[in-house]
Amino acid sequence: MTCTDEELVARSTHGDADSFNQLITRWERPIYALAYRVIGREEDARDVCQETFLRAFRGIGAFKGQAKFSSWLYRIALNLCRDWIRRERRTPVVQAPEGVDLTELASQRGPAESVEDLVARQDMSRLVAMAMRVLSDEQRTAVVLKEYQGLTFQEIADLQGCPLSTVKTRLYQGLTLLRRQLEEAGIHSSVGADDGAAPSRAVSRRPSDI
Protein backbone atom coordinates (compact mmCIF):
# COMPACT_ATOMS: atom_id res chain seq x y z
CA MET A 1 0.00 0.00 0.00
CA THR A 2 1.32 3.42 -0.97
CA CYS A 3 1.70 5.80 1.95
CA THR A 4 0.35 9.34 1.76
CA ASP A 5 2.64 12.35 2.04
CA GLU A 6 1.22 13.01 5.49
CA GLU A 7 2.12 9.51 6.68
CA LEU A 8 5.63 9.75 5.27
CA VAL A 9 6.13 13.19 6.81
CA ALA A 10 4.97 11.90 10.21
CA ARG A 11 7.48 9.05 10.04
CA SER A 12 10.22 11.39 8.83
CA THR A 13 9.76 13.67 11.82
CA HIS A 14 10.52 10.65 14.02
CA GLY A 15 13.80 9.98 12.26
CA ASP A 16 12.70 7.51 9.58
CA ALA A 17 15.16 8.30 6.79
CA ASP A 18 13.58 5.79 4.41
CA SER A 19 10.27 7.65 4.58
CA PHE A 20 11.94 10.92 3.69
CA ASN A 21 13.73 9.20 0.80
CA GLN A 22 10.31 8.10 -0.47
CA LEU A 23 9.19 11.74 -0.38
CA ILE A 24 12.26 12.69 -2.40
CA THR A 25 11.53 9.99 -4.97
CA ARG A 26 7.91 11.16 -5.23
CA TRP A 27 8.59 14.90 -5.56
CA GLU A 28 12.07 15.20 -7.06
CA ARG A 29 10.91 15.42 -10.69
CA PRO A 30 8.14 18.03 -10.06
CA ILE A 31 10.50 20.21 -8.00
CA TYR A 32 13.23 20.00 -10.62
CA ALA A 33 10.72 20.82 -13.37
CA LEU A 34 9.50 23.83 -11.38
CA ALA A 35 13.05 25.11 -10.85
CA TYR A 36 14.02 24.61 -14.48
CA ARG A 37 10.93 26.39 -15.82
CA VAL A 38 11.49 29.34 -13.50
CA ILE A 39 15.26 29.85 -13.94
CA GLY A 40 15.89 27.98 -17.20
CA ARG A 41 19.29 26.43 -16.43
CA GLU A 42 19.62 22.68 -16.01
CA GLU A 43 22.62 22.67 -13.65
CA ASP A 44 21.24 25.44 -11.46
CA ALA A 45 17.82 23.78 -11.44
CA ARG A 46 19.43 20.58 -10.15
CA ASP A 47 21.20 22.59 -7.44
CA VAL A 48 17.92 24.23 -6.44
CA CYS A 49 16.22 20.83 -6.35
CA GLN A 50 18.92 19.34 -4.12
CA GLU A 51 18.94 22.37 -1.82
CA THR A 52 15.15 22.24 -1.58
CA PHE A 53 15.19 18.71 -0.18
CA LEU A 54 18.17 19.46 2.04
CA ARG A 55 16.29 22.36 3.62
CA ALA A 56 13.13 20.28 3.83
CA PHE A 57 15.03 17.52 5.63
CA ARG A 58 16.54 19.98 8.08
CA GLY A 59 13.19 21.66 8.71
CA ILE A 60 10.84 18.67 8.62
CA GLY A 61 10.42 18.81 12.37
CA ALA A 62 8.95 22.31 12.10
CA PHE A 63 6.45 21.33 9.42
CA LYS A 64 3.08 21.42 11.13
CA GLY A 65 0.87 20.42 8.23
CA GLN A 66 -1.00 23.72 7.87
CA ALA A 67 -0.48 23.31 4.10
CA LYS A 68 0.16 20.29 1.90
CA PHE A 69 3.70 18.95 1.97
CA SER A 70 3.98 19.61 -1.77
CA SER A 71 3.01 23.26 -1.26
CA TRP A 72 5.65 23.56 1.43
CA LEU A 73 8.26 22.14 -0.98
CA TYR A 74 7.12 24.49 -3.76
CA ARG A 75 7.53 27.47 -1.44
CA ILE A 76 11.08 26.44 -0.52
CA ALA A 77 11.98 25.90 -4.19
CA LEU A 78 10.45 29.20 -5.31
CA ASN A 79 12.34 31.11 -2.63
CA LEU A 80 15.57 29.47 -3.77
CA CYS A 81 14.78 30.38 -7.39
CA ARG A 82 14.19 34.01 -6.41
CA ASP A 83 17.48 34.02 -4.49
CA TRP A 84 19.23 32.69 -7.61
CA ILE A 85 17.71 35.37 -9.84
CA ARG A 86 18.65 38.16 -7.42
CA ARG A 87 22.16 36.76 -6.94
CA GLU A 88 22.80 36.44 -10.66
CA ARG A 89 21.14 39.83 -11.34
CA ARG A 90 19.72 38.59 -14.62
CA THR A 91 16.55 37.18 -16.10
CA PRO A 92 16.17 33.43 -16.44
CA VAL A 93 17.83 31.97 -19.52
CA VAL A 94 16.54 29.01 -21.48
CA GLN A 95 19.30 27.16 -23.27
CA ALA A 96 18.08 25.54 -26.49
CA PRO A 97 20.16 22.59 -27.75
CA GLU A 98 22.25 23.21 -30.85
CA GLY A 99 20.97 20.14 -32.70
CA VAL A 100 18.43 17.33 -32.54
CA ASP A 101 19.46 13.67 -32.20
CA LEU A 102 16.84 11.85 -34.29
CA THR A 103 17.96 8.43 -33.00
CA GLU A 104 17.39 9.53 -29.42
CA LEU A 105 14.09 11.13 -30.31
CA ALA A 106 12.88 8.02 -32.07
CA SER A 107 13.53 5.95 -28.94
CA GLN A 108 11.50 8.42 -26.83
CA ARG A 109 8.44 8.77 -29.04
CA GLY A 110 5.18 7.03 -28.35
CA PRO A 111 3.79 4.30 -30.62
CA ALA A 112 1.45 6.73 -32.41
CA GLU A 113 3.89 9.64 -32.67
CA SER A 114 6.20 10.06 -35.64
CA VAL A 115 9.73 11.41 -35.36
CA GLU A 116 8.54 14.52 -37.21
CA ASP A 117 5.78 15.08 -34.67
CA LEU A 118 8.19 14.66 -31.77
CA VAL A 119 10.70 17.08 -33.28
CA ALA A 120 7.91 19.62 -33.83
CA ARG A 121 6.68 19.19 -30.25
CA GLN A 122 10.13 19.68 -28.76
CA ASP A 123 10.72 22.68 -31.03
CA MET A 124 7.48 24.20 -29.77
CA SER A 125 8.52 23.57 -26.17
CA ARG A 126 11.75 25.50 -26.77
CA LEU A 127 9.85 28.38 -28.38
CA VAL A 128 7.47 28.57 -25.43
CA ALA A 129 10.37 28.47 -22.96
CA MET A 130 12.13 31.28 -24.79
CA ALA A 131 8.92 33.33 -24.97
CA MET A 132 8.50 33.02 -21.21
CA ARG A 133 11.69 35.03 -20.73
CA VAL A 134 9.74 38.24 -21.42
CA LEU A 135 7.39 37.61 -18.50
CA SER A 136 7.93 39.14 -15.10
CA ASP A 137 8.98 36.84 -12.26
CA GLU A 138 5.45 36.91 -10.83
CA GLN A 139 3.77 36.24 -14.18
CA ARG A 140 6.16 33.44 -15.09
CA THR A 141 5.74 31.78 -11.71
CA ALA A 142 1.95 31.97 -11.95
CA VAL A 143 2.00 30.39 -15.42
CA VAL A 144 4.39 27.64 -14.35
CA LEU A 145 2.45 26.78 -11.19
CA LYS A 146 -0.97 26.79 -12.90
CA GLU A 147 -0.29 25.43 -16.38
CA TYR A 148 2.60 23.06 -15.70
CA GLN A 149 2.37 22.09 -12.03
CA GLY A 150 -1.45 22.02 -11.94
CA LEU A 151 -1.91 24.03 -8.75
CA THR A 152 -5.21 25.76 -8.00
CA PHE A 153 -5.55 29.54 -7.96
CA GLN A 154 -5.85 29.45 -4.18
CA GLU A 155 -2.68 27.37 -3.78
CA ILE A 156 -0.78 29.79 -5.99
CA ALA A 157 -2.14 32.75 -4.03
CA ASP A 158 -0.93 31.13 -0.81
CA LEU A 159 2.52 30.45 -2.30
CA GLN A 160 2.90 33.95 -3.74
CA GLY A 161 1.35 35.65 -0.71
CA CYS A 162 -1.17 37.66 -2.72
CA PRO A 163 -4.95 37.87 -3.26
CA LEU A 164 -6.72 35.42 -5.54
CA SER A 165 -7.57 38.23 -7.97
CA THR A 166 -3.88 39.10 -8.30
CA VAL A 167 -3.00 35.53 -9.29
CA LYS A 168 -5.70 35.53 -11.96
CA THR A 169 -4.46 38.87 -13.30
CA ARG A 170 -0.86 37.63 -13.44
CA LEU A 171 -1.94 34.47 -15.24
CA TYR A 172 -4.07 36.42 -17.73
CA GLN A 173 -1.27 38.89 -18.46
CA GLY A 174 1.35 36.14 -18.66
CA LEU A 175 -0.63 34.00 -21.10
CA THR A 176 -1.47 37.06 -23.20
CA LEU A 177 2.22 37.96 -23.47
CA LEU A 178 3.11 34.38 -24.31
CA ARG A 179 0.56 34.29 -27.12
CA ARG A 180 1.88 37.57 -28.49
CA GLN A 181 5.49 36.35 -28.41
CA LEU A 182 4.59 33.11 -30.17
CA GLU A 183 2.66 34.95 -32.86
CA GLU A 184 5.64 37.26 -33.43
CA ALA A 185 7.79 34.13 -33.82
CA GLY A 186 5.47 32.98 -36.62
CA ILE A 187 3.39 30.62 -34.52
CA HIS A 188 -0.38 30.84 -34.60
CA SER A 189 -1.75 29.99 -31.16
CA SER A 190 -5.18 29.71 -29.59
CA VAL A 191 -3.63 30.21 -26.18
CA GLY A 192 -5.43 32.77 -24.07
CA ALA A 193 -6.21 33.44 -20.46
CA ASP A 194 -9.91 33.19 -21.20
CA ASP A 195 -9.71 29.43 -21.75
CA GLY A 196 -6.79 28.69 -19.41
CA ALA A 197 -5.04 26.60 -22.04
CA ALA A 198 -1.48 25.51 -21.37
CA PRO A 199 1.09 27.47 -23.39
CA SER A 200 2.07 24.48 -25.49
CA ARG A 201 -1.42 23.49 -26.60
CA ALA A 202 -3.26 24.20 -29.83
CA VAL A 203 -0.38 25.76 -31.73
CA SER A 204 0.49 25.51 -35.39
CA ARG A 205 2.68 27.10 -38.00
CA ARG A 206 1.22 29.81 -40.19
CA PRO A 207 0.67 28.60 -43.77
CA SER A 208 3.45 30.90 -44.99
CA ASP A 209 5.92 29.11 -42.72
CA ILE A 210 5.19 25.59 -43.90
Min mean pLDDT across 5-19, 36-50, 121-135 is at 121-135
- Enclosing domain of residue 153: 103-205
E strand segments, 113-186:
none
89-105 confidence digits (pLDDT tens): 655 554 433 343 433 43
125-147: average pLDDT: 82
Q: Does any domain span residue 153?
A: yes
pLDDT of 121 > 90? The answer is no
33-71 confidence digits (pLDDT tens): 899 888 878 889 999 999 999 999 999 988 877 788 999
The closest of 38, 121, 136, 28 to 78, measured between CA atoms, is 38
* pLDDT for the residue 96: 37
Q: How far apart are CA 119 and CA 140, in angstroms?
A: 25
pLDDT of 160 > 70? The answer is yes
Residues 30 and 81 in one domain: yes
174-206 confidence digits (pLDDT tens): 888 888 888 887 765 544 433 333 444 433 333
Q: Does any domain span residue 94?
A: no
- Residue 207 has a CB neighbour count (10 Å cut-off) of 7
* pLDDT for the residue 159: 87
Q: 189: which DSSP letter?
A: E
Q: How far apart are CA 209 and CA 176, in angstroms?
A: 22
Residues 68 and 155 in one domain: no
Q: Does any domain span residue 84?
A: yes
Q: What is the CATH number of the domain that holds 77?
A: 1.10.1740.10
Residues 16 and 56 in one domain: yes
Residues 63 and 18 in one domain: yes
Residues 112 and 82 in one domain: no
* pLDDT for the residue 107: 40
Domain count, the chain: 2
Q: What is the CATH number of the domain that holds 174?
A: 1.10.10.10
Residues 113 and 166 in one domain: yes
* Residue 1 CA: distances (Å) to CA of 4, 6, 7, 170: 10, 14, 12, 40
Residues 122 and 195 in one domain: yes
pLDDT of 137 > 90? The answer is no
* Residue 9 CA: distances (Å) to CA of 95, 109, 155, 190, 202: 36, 36, 20, 42, 39
